[in-house]
Structure 1
C-alpha cells in the first residue's frame, strides 16, 4: 500500500461529520423531551466514539489494520468512559447552571433553537475537528512502530488521571462533611485539573498514532485535533471557566497558591 488514500479519506470525513451531527441531533431531541440541555455533555464522548467507529468501518482496505483497530478501540474506550461518568454524575440533577446562564441570552427567542445553534451544532463540529488524528490514523498506511507504543502509553496515562481523578472527586463530594470545601487530595493535590490533564494526554497520545504512519499527511491532518483540545482545556470551556466559577470559594486561593494549574507536580509549601 503506497501513498495516502485522499479520495477515500475525504469521503470518510463527510461520513464522520454526519456521525457526529447525528449523535448531537438525537441528543437534542432527548434534551427537548426532558426539558434539560445538560444531556449534551454525555453526547460529547459518545460522538467521539461514533466518529471513530465510522472511520474504522469506512477505512477498511485503505489503512493499516493494526492501527485502525488500536486507534478506534482507544477512542471508544475513552469516549464511553467519559459519557458514562458524566451520565452517572448528573443523575437526579436538574439543568446545569452553565446552560441556564448561556440560554438566558436567547432573550425572547426560543431557548431550544438557540441551544441547537450554539451548543449542539458547535459541539458536533468540534468533535469532528478534534477527531482528525483518529480519522487520519485509520486511513494511514504503514505498520505500527515505536511512536504507537509511546502514544498508547500516553493515552493510558491520561485515562488513569481522568478515571482516578473523577473517582477521587466523587468520593470527596459524597461525604457531607466536605460540603463547601475544596478538593485538594490525591491527584488533586498535584494538579487542580487531573481530568483535564488526562484529556490532554489522551489526545496527544492518539495524535502519536497518526504520526507513526511514516508519512507526513496524517501528521499535518491530525495536529489540529490535540491543539484545539488543548486550547479548550486550558483557555476555553475547561480550566479557565471552572476556575472563574471556583474563585470565590473559601480556601480556593490557598489551593491555587500551592497546586499546579495543569501539569502535575508536588504541591508547593506556602
Structure 2
C-alpha cells in the first residue's frame, strides 16, 4: 500500500493505548470508591469511544480523508455510548455482578489488584486491539467507496439487533410474571444472542470501512476476529449459556433457537 503513513499510524496506536488505559484506570479508581467492579462493563463502550475520538484528533493533518475519518469516529462513538448508557441503566441500584464475585473469590492475593490485572488492564489492551480498524481508517487518503458504505449497512444492522434485543430483554425482565423464565420472544426467538450478534456485525462493519486499502485491512483484521472470538468463545455466549444451563426451559429453548446467527425457530416435537 504505497504512501500509507505507517509511522503516523503507529504513533496513533500509542495515543489510543493511552486513551484506553486512562479510561480503565479512572474506572478502577471509581470502582474502589464504590466497592463494585461491575462498572468496568460501562467503561468498555466508553473506552472504544475515547479511542475513536483520540485517533481522530491525533490523525488530523496526516492525509486521511475527512469523510472517512468522521464516519468511522461517529459510528464507533454512537455504538460505544449507547452500550455504555444501556449497561449503566441496567446496573443501577444493583450490587456486584455474580461474574466478578466468582472471579474475585479465586484471587490469589489482593482482590482489587487481581481485578486490575485480569479485568481492567486486559480490557484496555483488548480495546486497542479490537479498534485497530477504526484507528487505521483515520489515515486512508481516498474517499469511502462501495465496500465502506456496505460496512455502514452492516454496522446499522448490528446496532439495530443490539439495541432492539437489549430493549426487548429489558421489557421482559421488568414484568414480574417472567421471573425465572427464559426470554424467547422477538429477536430472541431467532437467535439466543441478538445483542452479541449485533456487536459482531458492528465490528465487521467498521472493518469494511478500512477495506478500500487492502493492506491496511489485512494488518487490522485481527480486530474483528478477536471481537468475534470474545463474543462466541470468550466472555460472551459461552459464559452466559453456562450460567443459564440449569434454568427451567433453557434446554428446550436451545433446541429450537439458533445459537448465534439469526434463523427461523426450529419446529420441535412438542410444538
Q: Is the structural similarity TM-score above 0.5?
A: yes
Q: Is the 8 A contact 1:191 1:265 kept in 2?
A: yes
Partner of 1:229: 227
Partner of 1:67: 68
1:61 CA drift (Å): 1.9
Partner of 1:31: 31
1-side partners of 2:187 and 2:83: how far apart? 18
Q: Deviations over 1:39-61 (max 9, x none)?
A: 00000000000000011011112
1-side partners of 2:79 and 2:216: how far apart? 21
2-side partners of 1:18 and 1:89: how far apart? 28
2-side partners of 1:90 and 1:181: how far apart? 20
Partner of 1:40: 40
1-side partners of 2:70 and 2:47: how far apart? 18
**Can you give the 5+ residue segments of structure 2 that lack an aligned partner in the other structure?**
none
1:25 CA drift (Å): 0.3
Partner of 1:261: 259
Partner of 1:88: 89
1-side partners of 2:69 and 2:43: how far apart? 23
1-side partners of 2:50 and 2:249: how far apart? 41
**TM-score, normalised via structure 1 length:** 0.97
- Partner SS state of residue 173, structure 1: helix
RMSD between superposed Cα atoms in Å: 0.8
Matches within 5 A, 1:121-140: 121-140=121-140
Q: Is the 8 A contact 1:134 1:222 kept in 2?
A: no
Count of residue pairs the alignment pairs up: 266
Partner of 1:196: 196
- Partner SS state of residue 51, structure 1: helix
Check if 1:252 corresponds to 2:246.
no
Partner of 2:104: 103
1:81 CA drift (Å): 0.2
2-side partners of 1:221 and 1:116: how far apart? 29
